[in-house]
Amino acid sequence: MSWLRDRHGDHAVSLSREQVYRLLGCFIISVMPQIGNIPLWLLLATGGLVLWRIQQERRESEPPSSVVKLLLGIGFLLGVYVDKGTLTGRDSGTALMVGLIAVKFLELRNRRDYMVLTFVIYFMSVTALLFEQSILVFVYVVICCGCLTVNLITLHSPGPDNSPSRSAAQLALRLIVQGLPLALVLFLFYPRINARYGFNLGSSTSGLPEKIRASSFESLTEDSSMAFRADFPGGEIPPATSLYWRGFVLWDYNASTNEWQGTSPAQEWRDLTDTPANLVGGKRLLQRITLRAHSQRWLFALDYPAGSAWNGQGELGTGYVLQINRELHRKIQYLVTSQVDSHPLVQSPTMQRASLRIAADLIRPEVRQLAKELRGPGDSDEKVVANMLAYYHKNGFEYTTKAENYGDDPLYEFLFVKRRGFCEHFASSFTVLMRLAGVPARVVAGYHGGEYNPYGNFIIVRQLNAHAWSEVFIKGKGWTRVDPTVMATVTHLAAPITPTARQVEPTRRISEALERKWTPDWLPPLAMEGRFRWQLVEEKWDQWVLSYTPELQTDILKDWHLERFSWEFFLLATIFVLFLTILLVSRSFQRRRTSEEALLAIYAEFCVTLKNSGVPRYHWEGSTEYAQRAARILPAASKPILRFAREYALLRYGKIAYLEPALEPLREKVEAVREALTQAELHLNQ
């Protein structure tokens, strides 16, 4: 970089304390969205380096040696590798970037370092969109970029302190606004690459666990984050009793750990009976699902999906589950059709064996005896199901959000001792007893319910809506959904579209009573109104920005009758527009530069005229001060002198877009000054 220092001497100019503090502030603001994505030890280390840099400025001490900075960089590399297991990918790359930027601050001394750090922080700000693409994060990133742009403008502004000003902020805003049309054109017409479900840039949190055991959903009972959003292009909202969002089916029960799991990929089979043609009853309903990344292979839809989703990339597998061929690491939107309130009529022998498989010898005799008592002489499978549901109801089973401390045999303790638990306790115990009683059964995991938005006509399903239920196979009726949790909470399905029903603990009742006492009556409806409106904004953002797929781009091009042009044409057109824009901007700058040179030449002519009259300009004088002094010494020409000075200051320092039309009138004012001085000299000679 020595050539840069030689050609541009200002790059070696030292920075003021205020400039360093402002860049540190921009760095801290840019890191804020990443706090939850960066290891705690790295955040603490970064904070320590920032404080170290502040102490350097306060004490005006020398930066650390190159050996110290090298050791710090190696320390961050090793720490991230040990913590993440890799130095590549979204999570590791972002964490490493934050640490290395903090090390770079220790050697920040001149404008060159300042500009390098600024552009690196630009890039780091944008990485927040790799973790979350919501509209709030996007606005935050734009604000961060705006602050960095203001810093760059003030860095090159005249004056000793280079302090930020309103004009710098206005210029930064104008630059951002001017770039929006080009960004919009590139967004709409630049060829979209269909990368299916995106690259694995890092891990994403998932609402539903892959395996279900006692208290698997405990962490989700208070998680109000969105799992997915569903709207219905046909306009028909299904009733609350039908809002079972199918995720995946669990077939295998491990009696020793009381754990349910799906078949492993090596054991997975494709049952040919699970087809839309096997569904009877109900009606078809089209859904558009906006699903957040969950690092798993399943998609969600209402029972029962009747076809593929996401343009055929989501395949219908055994148990009527929608699966993709890779883990989902970004938010997607897909259309899927479900057969609501229907029943798969037949099952294959393979499926029947899988739905009856149970290691009865590992289950306690009390549980086996209960299963035996469920089937009386001549009782049908349907009667066995009814007997088990009656057992829950008669024995006072409760649904609770407070985890129970179960011992080595949660199944026995739930059925005969505590009788309190989550939905997975009910679904697991019910399915085990059904298999012991000879009824084919399986566990289904997904979500139930949701929050209806009347303005957007869609449903928000949150992580706290996670739910597990059972399905039993009844001869003549096929697979039938049974939700045993409803026997513990009778109002679970009677309410409108709400989150999954839960027993309210006594402490929560007290807190809710206090909130009702101190909260104005008008505040809850207003908060709900604002939440619904904001959900509508997010829905539009997801639909038109995050879900702008190649298919949607093609549809827009068809609407505008541009579908006959290939993507190569749009690529060449984009390059041409960029080239034309650069050419026009460069010519505009060149024209402005030429006009400014002509303006300075006119001012030089003005100065020569006054010098010939005995009033030379001092090198430290500005144009206004010089004109005022000349007007006092040459009163006969004071008016044209001051008139020229005002016009020159307006053209030189004012916001004049085009100087060329104003140059000739300014030359005429110089002539007016010259004529006034000539007339004054003739008058003195007479």
Question: Which tens digit of pLDDT belongs to each residue from 420-477?
Answer: 888 888 999 999 999 999 999 999 999 999 999 888 889 999 988 899 999 999 988 8
Q: Does residue 312 carry a pLDDT above 70?
A: no
Residue 431 belongs to what H/E stretch? helix 423-436
Give residue 500's pLDDT.
38
Give the integer Cα–Cα distance in Å for 165 and 25. Answer: 17
Average pLDDT over residues 590-599: 72
Average pLDDT over residues 193-203: 49
Q: Identify which of 288, 31, 330 has the alpha carbon closest to the alpha carbon of residue 197.
A: 330
Boundary residue ending a domain (467, 484, 503): 503
Whether 200 is covered by a domain: the verdict is no
What's the pLDDT band for 516 if we cut at 50, 70, 90?
low
Query: Looking at the structure, do residues 160 and 307 belong to the same domain, yes or no?
Result: no
Q: Percentage of the chain surpassing pLDDT 90?
A: 28
What's the pLDDT band for 575 if we cut at 50, 70, 90?
confident
Pairing of strands 451-453, 458-462: antiparallel
Q: In this predicted model, what pLDDT tens digit does every residue of 199-254 receive, in sequence order?
A: 444 444 556 877 887 777 777 777 788 889 999 988 888 888 889 999 989 999 98
Query: Looking at the structure, do residues 524 and 644 belong to the same domain, yes or no?
Result: no
Measure Cα distances from 323 to 296, 306, 666 in Å. 9, 13, 75
Q: Percentage of the chain surpassing pLDDT 70?
A: 83
Query: Looking at the structure, do residues 265 and 129 belong to the same domain, yes or no?
Result: no
Q: In this predicted model, what pLDDT tens digit does every residue of 339-358 receive, in sequence order?
A: 998 889 888 888 888 899 99
Average pLDDT over residues 651-667: 74
Angle at the Cα of 580 (from 579 to 581), degrees rounded to 5? 90
More confident residue, 235 or 45: 45
More confident residue, 260 or 262: 260
Query: Looking at the structure, do residues 549 and 575 belong to the same domain, yes or no?
Result: no
Whether 318 is covered by a domain: the verdict is yes
Whether 169 is covered by a domain: the verdict is yes
Lowest-confidence pick of 261-270, 433-442, 518-527: 261-270
Give residue 110's pLDDT.
85
Give residue 192's pLDDT.
67
Query: Looking at the structure, do residues 367 and 297 belong to the same domain, yes or no?
Result: yes
User: What are the start-end ranges of the E strands in 55-170?
Assistant: none
Total domains in the fold of the chain: 4
Average pLDDT over residues 529-535: 83
Query: Looking at the structure, do residues 226 and 162 belong to the same domain, yes or no?
Result: no
Whether 209 is covered by a domain: the verdict is no
Sign of CA dihedral 157, 159, 162, 166: negative
* Residue type present at position 377: P
Range 138-147 contact pairs with CB under 8 angstroms and sequence separation of 24 or more: 140/32, 140/33, 141/33, 142/176, 143/29, 144/26, 144/29, 144/30, 145/176, 146/172, 146/173, 146/176, 147/25, 147/26, 147/29
Boundary residue ending a domain (458, 480, 503): 503
Give residue 442's pLDDT.
94
Query: Looking at the structure, do residues 421 and 532 belong to the same domain, yes or no?
Result: no
Give residue 46's pLDDT.
93
Q: Identify which of 332, 335, 336, 334 has the alpha carbon closest to the alpha carbon of residue 197.
A: 332
Give residue 649's pLDDT.
86
User: What are the start-end ranges of the E strands in 240-314?
Assistant: 244-250, 252-254, 259-261, 279-280, 283-291, 298-299, 301-302
Domain holding 535, by residue range, is: 513-561
Query: Looking at the structure, do residues 344 and 232 belong to the same domain, yes or no?
Result: yes
Lowest-confidence pick of 107-116, 336-345, 645-654: 645-654
More confident residue, 275 or 265: 275
Decide: 630 and 566 in contact? Cβ < 8 Å.
Answer: no
Decide: 175 and 164 in contact? Cβ < 8 Å.
Answer: no
Biggest distance spanned by C-alpha atoms of the chain: 142
SS3 call for 82: helix
Whether 508 is covered by a domain: the verdict is no
What's the pLDDT band for 96 if we cut at 50, 70, 90?
very high
What's the pLDDT band for 28 if we cut at 50, 70, 90?
very high
Range 259-268 contact pairs with CB under 8 angstroms and sequence separation of 24 or more: 259/211, 259/212, 259/213, 260/211, 260/212, 260/213, 260/428, 260/431, 260/443, 261/210, 261/211, 261/212, 262/210, 263/354, 268/317, 268/318
Boundary residue ending a domain (503, 529, 550): 503
Give residue 647's pLDDT.
87
What's the pLDDT band for 399 if we cut at 50, 70, 90?
confident
Whether 205 is covered by a domain: the verdict is no
Query: Looking at the structure, do residues 445 and 590 belong to the same domain, yes or no?
Result: no
Query: Looking at the structure, do residues 451 and 537 belong to the same domain, yes or no?
Result: no
Whether 477 is covered by a domain: the verdict is yes
Give the integer Cα–Cα distance in Å for 402 and 422. Answer: 9
Query: Looking at the structure, do residues 550 and 595 belong to the same domain, yes or no?
Result: no
Q: In this predicted model, what pLDDT tens digit does every residue of 46-91 receive, in sequence order?
A: 999 999 999 988 888 888 888 999 999 999 999 999 998 888 888 8
Q: Does residue 522 carry a pLDDT above 90?
A: no
Whether 210 is covered by a domain: the verdict is no
Contacts (Cβ under 8 Å, ≥6 apart) of 59:
none
What's the pLDDT band for 486 if we cut at 50, 70, 90?
confident
What's the pLDDT band for 525 if we cut at 50, 70, 90?
confident
**Average pLDDT over the chain, rounded to whole?**
81
Average pLDDT over residues 5-15: 54
Query: Looking at the structure, do residues 499 and 573 belong to the same domain, yes or no?
Result: no
Q: Does residue 157 carry a pLDDT above 80?
A: no
Give residue 560's pLDDT.
73
